């Protein structure tokens, strides 16, 4: 993979390849960054930020400028084109207001097995059913683990783990393990919520025969 220097827009989020992210741009340094990307058609990288800039992030292209305000602020639609490893970080890229550094794109190897994907979808459907979210998420319409991960609400740390995985099979195994551990906990939480809802209501109990 080719190493290259790119502008950085650190954020506390993970964007997966193919994912669309809407951004409101208001800081002077990022207004400069985005304007230059619009002028040149170049990309920028969102390194994941958690207390510090982490070692992996997402390379973004600008899909469209939705609105430009009189203040110079902008609403833009971006799309992740690849996951990257951050090799270096500078607070200022040359004479620019924004940060930047050297990155290298990660491979994205699409090697799922039908059996594994079906197992993952079965677990995801069970979770959706337990949470009563069938009207909000149709698992059968989801095409890969990246899309499923965001829709099922993984933590930032878990999404960051998945961003670094270059194989779809790795990501599916990761999510299968996560859902296998999470489902019993979610079921117990839902049962507890039901018990709390019932507490204080008049309840009918059948008489016991001794």
Q: Is the pLDDT of residue 200 over 60?
A: no
* Average pLDDT, integer, range 89-103: 96
- pLDDT more than 90, % of the chain: 76
**What is the CA 30 to chain-centroid distance, rounded?**
21
Q: What is the DSSP letter of 11?
A: B
pLDDT in tens, 5-15: 999 999 999 99
Give residue for tokens 């973004």: 60
Nearest to 61 by CA among 105, 112, 96: 105
- pLDDT more than 70, % of the chain: 90
* Average pLDDT, integer, range 201-206: 51
Residue 136's pLDDT band, with cuts at 50, 70 and 90, is confident
pLDDT of residue 40: 97
Residue 122's pLDDT band, with cuts at 50, 70 and 90, is very high
Q: Is 57 exposed, middle or buried (0-12, 13-18, 19+ CB in 10 A)?
A: buried
Question: Dihedral through CA 3, CA 147, CA 169, CA 171, nearest 10?
Answer: 70
Residues near 7 by beta carbon (within 8 Å), at least 6 away in sequence: 33, 36, 37, 42, 44, 45, 93, 96, 98, 99, 100
Count how many Cα atoms sit within 13 Å of the Cα of residue 177 in the half-sphere of its side chain: 8
pLDDT of residue 210: 40
Helices (H), the chain: 28-40, 114-130, 145-151, 156-163, 168-198
pLDDT in tens, 154-179: 899 999 999 999 999 999 999 999 99
Rounded-to-integer distance, Cα 139 and Cα 149, Å: 11
Rounded-to-integer distance, Cα 57 and Cα 83, Å: 6
Rounded-to-integer distance, Cα 56 and Cα 117, Å: 26
Q: What is the pTM of this model?
A: 0.84
Task: Evaluate whether 131 touches 186 at the Cβ level (below 8 Å).
Answer: yes
pLDDT of residue 66: 98
In Å, how far are 21, 81, 138, 151, 187 from 133, measured between CA atoms?
Answer: 23, 29, 9, 11, 14
Q: Is the pLDDT of residue 204 over 80?
A: no
pLDDT in tens, 107-117: 999 998 899 99
- CA angle, 202 as apex, 198 and 208 as ends, to 5°? 95
């Amino acid at each position: 993979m080719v190493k290259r220097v790119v502008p950085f827009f650190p954020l506390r989020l993970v964007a997966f390849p193919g994912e669309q992210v809407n951004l409101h741009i208001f800081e002077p340094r990022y207004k400069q960054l985005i304007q230059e990307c619009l002028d040149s058609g170049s990309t920028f990288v969102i390194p994941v930020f958690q207390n510090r800039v982490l070692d992996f992030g997402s390379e973004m292209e600008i899909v469209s400028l939705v609105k430009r305000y009189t203040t110079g602020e902008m609403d833009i639609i971006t799309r992740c084109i690849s996951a990257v490893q951050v090799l270096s970080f500078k607070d200022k890229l040359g004479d620019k207001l924004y940060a930047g550094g050297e990155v290298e794109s990660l491979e994205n190897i699409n090697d799922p097995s039908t059996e594994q994907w079906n197992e993952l979808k079965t677990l995801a459907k069970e979770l959706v059913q337990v949470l009563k979210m069938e009207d909000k998420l149709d698992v059968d319409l989801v095409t890969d683990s990246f899309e499923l991960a965001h829709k099922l609400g993984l933590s930032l740390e878990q999404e960051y783990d998945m961003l670094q995985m270059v194989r779809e099979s790795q990501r599916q195994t990761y999510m299968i393990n996560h859902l296998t551990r999470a489902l019993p906990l979610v079921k117990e939480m839902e049962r507890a919520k039901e018990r709390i809802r019932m507490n204080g209501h008049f309840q009918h109990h059948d008489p016991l025969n001794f």
